[in-house]
Amino acid sequence: MKEIILIKNGELALKGLNRCTFEDIMIKNIKRRLKDLGKVEIRKAQSAIYIEPKEENFDFEEALERVSLIFGIAAFSRACVCEKNMEDILSKSVEYLADTLKNAKTFKVEAKRSDKKFPLKSPEICRELGGVLLSHFHHLKVDVHNPDVTVNVEIRDFSAYVRAEQIQGAGGLPVGTAGTASILISGGIDSPVAAWTMAKRGLRLNAIHFASPPYTSARAELKVKTLLSKVARYSGSINLAIVPFTDIQDEIANNCPEEYFTLIMRRMMMRIAQKIARDSGSLALITGESLGQVASQTLPALVTTDIVTNMPVLRPLIGMDKEEIITISRKIDAFETSILPYEDCCTVFTPKHPKTRPTVELCEKAEEGLDIDRLVEEAIANTEYTFID
Amino acid sequence: MERLIYLDNSATTKPCEKSIECMTACLKNAWGNPSSLHRLGLEAEILLNNARETIAKYIKATPDEIIFTGSGTEANNTAIMTVASKKWGNRVITTEIEHPSVLETVKRLEELGFEVIKLKTDSEGVISLEELKNALNAKTVLVSIMLVNNEIGSVQPIKEASRLVKELSPKAVFHCDAVQGFGKMPINVKDLGVDLLTASGHKVFAPKGIGFLYCKKSVALKPFVTGGGQERGLRSGTESVPLISAFEGAVSSLPDINTALENMKDLNEYARKCFSESGFIKVNSPEDGLPYILNISVTGYRSETLLHFLERKNIFVSSGSACAKGEQSYVLKALGLTQKESDSALRISFSHHNTKEDIDALIDALKEATQNLRRSN
């Protein structure tokens, strides 16, 4: 029996004349994500996309799992392909739905006839298929209001499709339809969630990580890569820039007042990130900041870090509580990695009493002793790039 | 890149040529199941028997007293959990500075209703025999004391302790976790008077995944892993002949233990002298501990940062404490170290391959570290 994956677009349907572009990007994303599973044929018709395996040993379960992570998909289902005649629809339905219906008590049938040339009308299809299913599965009862299983028949241009249940998709917009932005990723809980949230709105991701060996270890870097690979399951591949930051931290520690350490560090990070982002084609920066979470994330602190960049800084978590962030972190399977202990032994650079109400002027004065341009240039020159799939 | 200086031999050792050779030969030529009746089985069984004999001899035991396990941790678990079925008593005695594989396992016994007494250790990391004496009673089913502590190298008076146990709690089983002492100091199980003793292969130049529990013939243990009845029925599961063979290869190519120990004393003394002359390195290990382990503090610098700094110089050590925030090593705490001293502790652990040049390089690198790294708050 031939089986396909049937995909319902989400918000895409609202995109008017741009719909085609959005759909094409999504299809490209789907193709890329399913590439190593074998040959598939992907067709679009009437705000639906059909994925048809063209190989014997196609791993259908794995394909469904991957499709469930692709942004832009509102819902999807596996469906059985039938010829466009009632005889074939009835016999295949009985066989295809057997396992599902054996475990259900009640069901109903819904039919949709996009091809109006089909001789039966939708209610007639429902009645006929319902009757046949009842005669094969004696324990079943019809319940049109709250059924355990809704059997769906669609009569489309080429074929008819029968499916049992629809699965909710990842939602959002196809990655790549909104352009590219760079996430500043530390290895904590917040930044992977921020990255995921923005990828969901169609952004392609680059990533920037600041490393401070020997205060941070190779394991901390590996942790960042692991976290990005979790995000990449949704967003597709990510370019990662690893920026050496130890020298800058040392210079800050030696030349600036202690209560400003973190703020000046953030300002330096933003300056470097902006340049790297621009060079890699990003139009914005993304951070995992949440208002008031720590001293460097108070509104006055954000003002002082924002002012050094003229790129928009997207902060999708700004209004979220830690618990809400953790919920998403768990959902995208990043939490267990995020809480691994070897984050940064960077605490040597954390001021005992950080400034919570800084002003731009005071920050500028505090960093007077730094050769900012040189430090930024050196860091960028020594940045290493890798690719996360 | 500088030459590799490995000073983390208590974490694991580099497998020696002989053990790799034995393992490969076994994988290629004697891959049969030693329980099989045919010739291939017999060939594997012969290797297994030879290995058992070599290793038994090494600790003055008989071959049937060696039960191979998957690790030292498993051997410790086996030793401790099997007494759980003893109905006539309920007291278990151990020390506060045991390895987690002992401490976590006695915690399980505690949950099962046993009364667990953890002996305190003094500023040298050694238990008091007087305290042990007071803890022993007729209801004591198990005493488990380690031979050499893994963090600081202190050596416990096992012989004296076992004598006390035999005298005051004759029915109790005496177990000794000798993972850090095996292959580094002479071990004679009869002389030590232990009933059970744990050792591990990868601390003595064999691969990971192999250890043993010495189990005195007269001690009746209940199986911890049940099944096909291998290892006298105490540890079922097809024997890992390649690893056991590698273990034998490693043990048979260990240097003469007394000569090596003398050399190590010299090296240790040299290191202590250099540390003390440096003026910024404090030695935490006791004077009369096993010379293979030296715990030091470079106060003001975090262990983990120092470790990663040394790593860049191709020098490998352990941090003396977990970097986990606010969590102090329970061993260093027992020794009386402050949180600050623990935070900057490093464990240097030698093998017979190390030289004075290694120590010179370590001290140079640590000096450089203190000049370059920022002190922690």
ipTM reported for the complex, 2 dp: 0.78
Residue range B150-163: mean pLDDT, rounded: 96
Instruction: Inspect the interface and report whether the beta carbons of A214 and B324 lie closer than 8 Å.
Output: no
Å between A57 CA and nearest CA of chain B: 35
Residue B5: pLDDT band (50, 70, 90) is very high
* Helices and strands per DSSP (H, E), number in chain B: 13, 13
User: Hey, which residues of B are catalytic here?
Assistant: 323
Instruction: Inspect the interface and report whether the beta carbons of B312 and A213 lie closer than 8 Å.
Output: yes
- The reply to whether B240 and B273 lie within a common domain is no
Mutate to test the interface with B, among A258, A259, A345, A349 (most CBs of B within 10 A): A345
Residue that terminates a domain, selected from B230, B253, B276? B253
Task: Examine the pLDDT at B139 and tell me if it is beyond 50.
Answer: yes
Task: Examine the pLDDT at B321 and tell me if it is beyond 60.
Answer: no
d(CA A149, CA A93) in angstroms, rounded, equals 13
Exposed e or buried b per residue across A68-99, where buried means at least 16 C-beta atoms within 10 angstroms of its C-beta:
ebbbbbbebbbbbbbebebeebbebbbebbee
Residue B377 lies in a domain: no
Task: Examine the pLDDT at B118 and tell me if it is beyond 70.
Answer: yes
Å between A230 CA and nearest CA of chain B: 25
* Residues of chain A neighbouring B302 (CB-CB closer than 8 A): 345, 347-348
Is residue B161 within 8 Å of residue B132, measured between CB atoms?
yes
Least confident of A5-14, A260-269, A377-386: A5-14
Q: Collapse the DSSP code of B227 into the 3-class scheme (helix H, G, I; strand E, B; otherwise coil) and give the result.
A: coil
What's the number of domains chain B is made of?
2
Task: Examine the pLDDT at B12 and tell me if it is beyond 80.
Answer: yes
pLDDT score of A13: 59
d(CA B196, CA B177) in angstroms, rounded, equals 8
Residue carrying the six token digits 């499916």: A163
Give B37's contacts (C-beta < 8 A, 6+ positions apart).
none
Å between B314 CA and nearest CA of chain A: 13
Å between A189 CA and nearest CA of chain B: 17
Å between B364 CA and nearest CA of chain A: 17
Put simply, whether B305 touches A (Cβ < 8 Å) is yes
pLDDT score of A346: 55
Put simply, whether B324 touches A (Cβ < 8 Å) is yes
- The reply to whether B209 and B267 lie within a common domain is no
* Residues of chain B neighbouring A342 (CB-CB closer than 8 A): 304, 323
Q: Collapse the DSSP code of A58 into the 3-class scheme (helix H, G, I; strand E, B; otherwise coil) and give the result.
A: coil
- The reply to whether B158 and B118 lie within a common domain is yes
A233 versus A348: the higher-pLDDT residue is A233
d(CA B80, CA B352) in angstroms, rounded, equals 32
B305, B311, B312 ranked by CB distance to A345: nearest: B305
- The reply to whether B135 and B275 lie within a common domain is no
- The reply to whether B199 and B236 lie within a common domain is yes
Question: What pLDDT, in 10s, does the model give residues B264-276?
Answer: 999 999 999 999 9
Task: Examine the pLDDT at B326 and tell me if it is beyond 60.
Answer: no
The DSSP code for A144 is S
Residue range B337-365: mean pLDDT, rounded: 94
Terminal C-alpha separation, chain A:
34
- The reply to whether B228 and B271 lie within a common domain is no
Name the nearest CA neighbour of B131 among B144, B117, B141.
B117
Structure tokens given for B147: 């031979």
Mean model confidence pLDDT for chain B: 94
pLDDT score of A20: 80
Is residue B181 within 8 Å of residue B42, measured between CB atoms?
no
Is residue A293 within 8 Å of residue A188, measured between CB atoms?
no
Structure tokens given for B123: 């500023």
- Sign for the CA dihedral angle at B27, B29, B34, B38 comes to positive
d(CA B277, CA B280) in angstroms, rounded, equals 8
A214, A341, A347 ranked by CB distance to B308: nearest: A214
Residue that terminates a domain, selected from B253, B286, B314? B253
pLDDT score of B376: 74
Angle at A244 between CA A243 and CA A248, to 5 degrees: 115
B302, B375, B377 ranked by CB distance to A352: nearest: B377
- The reply to whether B45 and B179 lie within a common domain is yes
> Which own/partner pairs from B274-278 qualify as long-range (CB within 8 Å, at least 24 positions apart)?
B274/B359, B274/B360, B274/B363, B275/B363, B278/B363, B278/B366, B278/B367
* Residues of chain A neighbouring B374 (CB-CB closer than 8 A): 215, 249-250, 253, 348-349
Backbone angles phi, psi at B239, to 5 degrees: -60, 140
Residue B105 lies in a domain: yes
Instruction: Inspect the interface and report whether the beta carbons of B374 and A345 lie closer than 8 Å.
Output: no
* Residues of chain B neighbouring A350 (CB-CB closer than 8 A): 377
DSSP β-bridge partners for residue A108: A150
d(CA B276, CA A100) in angstroms, rounded, equals 76
- The reply to whether B246 and B260 lie within a common domain is no
Structure tokens given for A95: 């066989």
Instruction: Inspect the interface and report whether the beta carbons of B308 and A215 lie closer than 8 Å.
Output: yes
Residue range B58-70: mean pLDDT, rounded: 96
Other beta carbons within 10 angstroms of residue B356's beta carbon come to 12
Put simply, whether B373 touches A (Cβ < 8 Å) is yes
Residue B202 lies in a domain: yes
Domains of chain A: 3-168 (3.30.2130.30), 180-388 (3.40.50.620)
Instruction: Inspect the interface and report whether the beta carbons of B302 and A348 lie closer than 8 Å.
Output: yes
Structure tokens given for B312: 């860049």
Residue range A308-329: mean pLDDT, rounded: 95
Residue B186 lies in a domain: yes
Put simply, whether B376 touches A (Cβ < 8 Å) is yes
Residue B350 lies in a domain: yes
Full residue range of the structural domain in which residue B91 is found: 17-253
Could you tell me whether strands A284-286 and B5-6 are parallel, antiparallel, or unpaired per DSSP bridges? unpaired
pLDDT score of A348: 63
A214, A249, A347 ranked by CB distance to B376: nearest: A347
Put simply, whether B307 touches A (Cβ < 8 Å) is yes
Task: Examine the pLDDT at A344 and tell me if it is beyond 60.
Answer: no
CATH code: domain of residue B310: 3.90.1150.10
Residue range A144-173: mean pLDDT, rounded: 90
Question: What pLDDT, in 10s, does the model give residues B227-267?
Answer: 988 998 889 999 999 999 999 999 999 999 999 999 999 99
Question: What pLDDT, in 10s, does the model give residues A181-193?
Answer: 999 998 899 999 9
Name the nearest CA neighbour of B26 among B242, B313, B248, B322.
B242
pLDDT score of B324: 47
Least confident of A44-58, A372-386, B101-115, B287-301: A44-58
SS3 content of chain B, % helix, strand, coil (to 5): 45, 15, 40
Instruction: Inspect the interface and report whether the beta carbons of A348 and B324 lie closer than 8 Å.
Output: no
**Sheet containing A204-211, strands listed edge to edge, beginning at the edge strand earlier in sequence:** A313-314, A284-286, A180-184, A204-211, A238-244, A384-388
Q: Is A116 left (phi over 0), alpha (psi -120 to 50) or beta?
A: alpha
- Sign for the CA dihedral angle at A130, A132, A133, A139 comes to positive
Is residue B95 within 8 Å of residue B86, measured between CB atoms?
no
Instruction: Inspect the interface and report whether the beta carbons of A214 and B309 lie closer than 8 Å.
Output: yes
Task: Examine the pLDDT at A280 and tell me if it is beyond 80.
Answer: yes
Element (H, E) at B100: helix B100-111
- The reply to whether B338 and B298 lie within a common domain is yes
Residue that terminates a domain, selected from B253, B270, B303? B253
Residue B359 lies in a domain: yes
Residue B323: pLDDT band (50, 70, 90) is very low
Task: Examine the pLDDT at A286 and tell me if it is beyond 60.
Answer: yes
* Residues of chain B neighbouring A213 (CB-CB closer than 8 A): 308, 312
Instruction: Inspect the interface and report whether the beta carbons of A214 and B374 lie closer than 8 Å.
Output: no
* pTM of the predicted model over 0.95: no
Could you tell me whether strands A48-53 and A149-155 are parallel, antiparallel, or unpaired per DSSP bridges? unpaired
Å between B302 CA and nearest CA of chain A: 8
Residue B162: pLDDT band (50, 70, 90) is very high
- The reply to whether B242 and B266 lie within a common domain is no
Residue B216 lies in a domain: yes
Task: Examine the pLDDT at A343 and tell me if it is beyond 80.
Answer: no
* Cα B311 from chain centre: 24
Q: Count of A–B CB contacts within 8 Å?
A: 43
CATH code: domain of residue B165: 3.40.640.10
- The reply to whether B23 and B156 lie within a common domain is yes
Mean model confidence pLDDT for chain A: 90
Residue B198 lies in a domain: yes
Residues of A with CB under 8 A from a CB of B: 213-218, 249-250, 253, 341-342, 345, 347-350, 352
Put simply, whether B317 touches A (Cβ < 8 Å) is no
- The reply to whether B58 and B112 lie within a common domain is yes
Residue of chain A with shortest Cα separation from B343: A345
Instruction: Inspect the interface and report whether the beta carbons of A347 and B375 lie closer than 8 Å.
Output: no
Residue range B37-47: mean pLDDT, rounded: 95
Q: Is A93 left (phi over 0), alpha (psi -120 to 50) or beta?
A: alpha
